[in-house]
């Protein structure tokens, strides 16, 4: 471990300004003689373009974005259900939590048709893709879509 060393030139001492004329960075401390940036508190605010209309004001800000209302689904594939559940089981959000396929905080779950399923399962879900629904019904299972009750206080 004693052989590990930083290469030469990897560390540099920080520039100490305003420590006398002999230091090379005394007097004006590298700021120059005059002007806005030489003064204390000098400089311009972020986004200032010298009086030109700044970019953040030139770009149009209009229209509607649906982003705040976007619903992020947790994805469960048919291959996961085939691996974890037995034939005849009822698959719901609570049973997925018990089998550790989703976290406790996750409410919106969507079943996708990735993989094959041979077991007869009863699904009670918020969302199921068309491909998953047809594969489950072909295996003898049923799909019952339920409505998610939203909490009025926090808008989820």
Kindly report the average pLDDT of the chain as a whole number: 88
Per-residue pLDDT, 150: 57
What integer pLDDT is reported at residue 106 of this predicted model?
Answer: 79
The contacts of residue 150 (CB under 8 Å, 6+ apart) are 156
Q: Domain of 124?
A: 72-145
**Structurally, how many domains does the chain consist of?**
1
On the 0-12 / 13-18 / 19+ scale of CB atoms within 10 A, 3 is exposed
Cβ–Cβ under 8 Å, residues 65 and 99 = no
Asked whether residue 36 is domain-assigned, the answer is no
Evaluate whether residue 132 is within a structural domain.
Answer: yes
Q: How far apart are CA 76 and CA 115, in angstroms?
A: 11
- Whether 91 maps to a domain, the answer reads yes
Q: Is the residue at 32 inside a domain?
A: no
pLDDT band at 154 (very low <50, low <70, confident <90, very high): low
User: What pLDDT, on a 0 to 100 scale, did the predictor assign at position 132?
Assistant: 92
Q: Is residue 140 part of a domain?
A: yes
Model confidence at 8: pLDDT above 80: yes
Instruction: Kindly state the average pLDDT of the residues 100-111.
Output: 87
Residue 64 resides in a domain: no
Q: What is the pTM of this model?
A: 0.54
58 band by pLDDT with thresholds 50, 70 and 90: very high
The CATH number that applies at residue 104 is 3.100.10.10
Question: Would residue 42 count as lying in a domain?
Answer: no
Tell me what pLDDT residue 62 has. 86
Report yes or no on 20 lying in a domain. no
């Amino acid at each position: 471990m004693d052989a590990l060393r930083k290469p030469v030139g990897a560390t540099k001492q920080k520039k100490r300004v305003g420590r006398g004329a002999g230091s090379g960075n005394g007097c004006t401390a590298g700021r120059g003689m005059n002007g806005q940036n030489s003064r204390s508190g000098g400089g311009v605010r972020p986004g200032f373009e010298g009086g030109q209309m700044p970019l953040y004001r030139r770009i149009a800000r209009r229209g509607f974005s649906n982003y705040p209302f976007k619903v992020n689904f947790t994805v469960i594939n048919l291959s996961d259900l085939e691996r974890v559940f037995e034939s005849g089981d009822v698959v719901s959000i609570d049973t997925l939590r018990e089998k550790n396929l989703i976290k406790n905080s996750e409410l919106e779950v969507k079943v996708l048709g990735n993989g094959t399923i041979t077991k007869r399962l009863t699904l009670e879900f918020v969302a199921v893709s068309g491909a998953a629904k047809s594969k489950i019904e072909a295996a003898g299972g049923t799909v019952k879509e339920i409505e998610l009750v939203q909490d009025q206080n926090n808008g989820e």
